[in-house]
Structure formats: structure tokens, C-alpha cells
Structure 1
Amino acid sequence: MPNVAKPVAILASEAPVRTKPSNYPEPFASRMTGREKRPLGDLFGLMNFGVNLTRLAPNAVSALRHAHSKQDEFIYILQGNAVLRTDEGLTPLSPGMCAGFKAGTGNGHCLINESAEEVVYLEVGDRTPGDEGGYPDEDLKALMVDGKWQFVHKDGAPYA
């Protein structure tokens, strides 16, 4: 495979949209309708952390409510008004606001767009090996295996 030159800089809104809308198995993947991710860090060959420019259409969610065992996450709202859902409840977020999610706390989080306008935000997360994702509201667990997410039921049984 030839070594493809990485760009020096790009207009983030023109980065390619992630081709697979969701890594979740069904019945969860279809719940991500209205979410669009542009993986910015990958364009530059970043290996230690990822950066996505994410858009949520009205009534869309960022992800299932989740928490990571080893990965810290950070979000920064660029446009629109979202609602952050955590164990503490619902927190309105507007442009310029940010939130961080420390690994290992078990405090599940997700963003919800309850408005009639699009929400645009940056999400940043590290890529620590051996990370796991817990989903407090679902029968779902995510395991990072060889750099890819594998999803199983909470009892360890694989999804079909």
C-alpha cells in the first residue's frame, strides 16, 4: 500500500464524513440516525488521540449513554444547543461551552439535540489500549480489541 501524503491543514467542515454511521450492533445502530461524524484526527495520521467534528440533526443523539474505563473524552460546542445527559441529570450546553469525561468514573454521558436547529461540536478522546465502554441504560458492553470496538451483551455473549 503506497504511503499517502497527509494534508498540512484542511477546512474541517469539508473533511470526509465517516462512511459507517455507527459501530453499534442493531438494535442500537439505527438509533444514531441524524448523527454525522468527520474524523479529523485520522486525516493527519494521529495515533494517540482522535478528534471528530460531529453534527447532530434535530432529535439526534451523539451516542448511547456510555462511560469509558481508560479513555478520557472532551467535547466543545461550536453551534447550536445540546443537552448533556449524565448521572447528574440534564445540563443545557450552548456554543462555547465544553465538558470533559474522566476515564474510570462509570458516569455515563451523551448529548441530545432537543432543538429544531443543528448542533455541531468537537469531540476528542484518547486511544488508550484495553479500553472498555459501559452502557448503563443498555444490555451492551464495548471491548477494544486490536484497535477496533467489539460489542457484547453485559454477560459477555456476542451480538449476532
Structure 2
Amino acid sequence: MNHSRIPSRIAIVASSAPPRTKPSTYPEPFFSRMAKREKRPLGDLFGLKNFGVNLTRLAPGGESALLHRHSKQDEFIYVLEGEPTLVTDIGEVPLAPGMCAGFPAQGIAHQLVNRTDRNVVILEVGDRTAGDEGTYPHDDLRASLGPDGKWMYTHKDGRPY
């Protein structure tokens, strides 16, 4: 067996992964809305390049993201703990542990909110398709995924933040 090809990490306890150092890449006034969200990027720990995986905790009153949709990225969530509300531009759905939801690119706008007094823990999976853009129906925000894999934000009229 060639041990030089074995990755340094093969398996971990997901909750032991370090949280992101910055809770959001959104500009203000949206950044502060993510203060009750903690993401632990799991896929990055294993060198995954084609899709991302996050273990995300929403404290009471927390939001997973602004209400949004992607132009190219598919997303999937699985509820591990708590009872978040799935908010979409076509209505709301209460979720519970064991439930999941998927959001194809150019589909419905979506976000999860924690309206309970207990933490919510979800697993998020999304692809990393180049050229993706995010639109936000309720906020003056537009996002573009840059060639470096970082999100760039502007107002809907194109002015930078």
C-alpha cells in the first residue's frame, strides 16, 4: 500500500471541525444579520473542489442566509437538530430533524430561519459552478462568484458596496 497517497484527514467528528473565522461575506447591512449563524466548512477539510459541505448551526433568531437563489448552483440541506422554518418566495414550510430540501439553480428563492428557542443544526451541500450569481428578492443585493472562488457583491443597480 502506498501511504504517500493517503490524505492527512480521512474522517473526523463533524462538530469538531473549526468554524469559519468570518461569519459571512455579505457586506453591511446584511453581514450583521448572520451573527447567529456558525458554519463549519467540512468539504474544504478534505480538499473537495467541486462542491462544498457545511455543518451549520443557527442560534435562536438566526438565518442560514438572506432569501436568495442561484443562477447555476444547486443546493441541498438536511436537518440534523431543531426545527427551522424554510422560507421561500412561494411560502413557508416547517422542518424537523430528518427532513431535507433541495434547490435547483434558477429555482425558488430560499433561506432557513430559526424561530425557536433551541439551536438548529443542518448539513448544507452546494456545488461550486464557475460563473454563478446570486439574486436576493427582498434585499438590494446581487452576488457574483469571481474566478478566485470568492463572492463579489453589488447593489442591484450595479453600484459596489
Scaled by the length of structure 2, the TM-score of the pair is: 0.94
Residue 6 of structure 1 and its aligned partner are, at CA, apart by: 3.6
Give the equivalent residue in structure 1 for 2:48: 46
CA–CA distance in structure 1, aligned partners of residues 126 and 42 of structure 2: 12
Structure 1, residues 93-118: CA drift from partner, whole Å, max 9, x if none? Answer: 0000000000012x210000000000
Residue 42 of structure 1 and its aligned partner are, at CA, apart by: 0.2
Q: 2:112 aligns to what SS in structure 1?
A: strand
Structure 1, residues 65-114: CA drift from partner, whole Å, max 9, x if none? Answer: 00000000000000000000002211000000000000012x21000000
Q: 1:31 aligns to what SS in structure 2?
A: helix
- The unaligned stretches of length 5 or more in structure 2 are 1-6
Structure 1, residues 12-43: CA drift from partner, whole Å, max 9, x if none? Answer: 00000001110000000001111000000000
Give the equivalent residue in structure 2 for 1:24: 26
CA–CA distance in structure 2, aligned partners of residues 41 and 77 of structure 1: 18
Runs of 4+ in 1 over 4 A off after TM superposition: none
Structure 2 counterparts to residues 52-131 of structure 1, below 5 A: 52-105=54-107, 107-131=108-132
CA–CA distance in structure 1, aligned partners of residues 8 and 77 of structure 2: 25
> What is the aligned-residue RMSD (CA, Å)?
0.7
Matched-pair identity in %: 66
* Corresponding residue pairs, total: 154
- The unaligned stretches of length 5 or more in structure 1 are none
| Mapped contact 1:113–1:119 kept (Cα < 8 A) | yes
Scaled by the length of structure 1, the TM-score of the pair is: 0.95
